Amino acid sequence: MKFFKSIIIVALTILSLEVSAQNKTNAYYGMALPMGDTKDYINPASFRGGNIEFEKLVNPNVGVGLLIGWNTFYEAKDRATYPISNGEITSKQYRYLNAIPIQATGKYYFAGDDAVIRPFVGLAAGTYYMEQRVDNGLFSSSNKGWTFSVAPKAGFLIPMSYSTSLAVSVDYSTSFKSSDLPQQNWLGINVGFSWDY
């Protein structure tokens, strides 16, 4: 009987946590400014990116979740003589960098649901699938692989209705050097929406 009561108490506790927990889906359009090694490889800002984050509020001010996304960088270099694996080539050069994050996230919200603006800080950590490619005329070379990554972030939500908020955030993404890829860094500027359910 004691064992049966313990099971009921544990089940009711889990159910009460589920009822009181709030879920969020955050969808962002992402722009990125290359920094560090990334800027040396590709200089122009990227306007091609996006993220979606599934988040659970474990209490009114703390959220944990999972983020997936995509960022791509591109630069066309002037016609010049560039080194390739077996010599040199004179051509235009096209540089690409694709980054696909899969990260666990944590956030702290400084204000509750009833606030006019809900500022937050957070951290994402996990992995990036990276592809770095260079095209010289008919010749192409690429490096691909998985890297460890972190991205501290800050932003705010502006509630627009009971369940929808405008979401703005800034993050600094670092994809650490691996055996196949150099370290990459960029400053992300994200604008989107957050839905509570």
Range with the poorest average pLDDT among 18-22, 118-122, 184-188: 18-22
Token look-up 């400053």 returns: 187
Contact by Cβ (8 Å): 104, 64: yes
The string of pLDDT tens digits covering residues 27-39 is 999 999 999 999 9
- What's the rounded mean pLDDT across residues 156-163? 93
Query: Cα dist. 95→6, 7, 134 in Å?
Result: 61, 59, 5
Quick check: 7 pLDDT over 60? no
How much is the average pLDDT of 66-87?
Answer: 90
pLDDT at 156 over 90: yes
Dist. CA 13–CA 92, nearest whole Å: 64
Give the confidence band of 9 by pLDDT, cuts at 50, 70, 90. low
Whether this model's pTM surpasses 0.75 = yes
Question: What per-residue confidence (pLDDT) applies to 18?
Answer: 47
Give the 3-state secondary structure of 125-163.
EEEEEEEEEEEECCEEEEEEEEEEEEEEEEEEEEECCCC
Does the structural domain 22-196 have CATH classification 3.40.50.11890? no
More confident residue, 64 or 21: 64
Specify whether the CB–CB gap between 185 and 35 falls below 8 A. yes
pLDDT band at 4 (very low <50, low <70, confident <90, very high): very low
Beta bridge partners of 189: 31, 170
Mean pLDDT across the stretch 179-194?
94
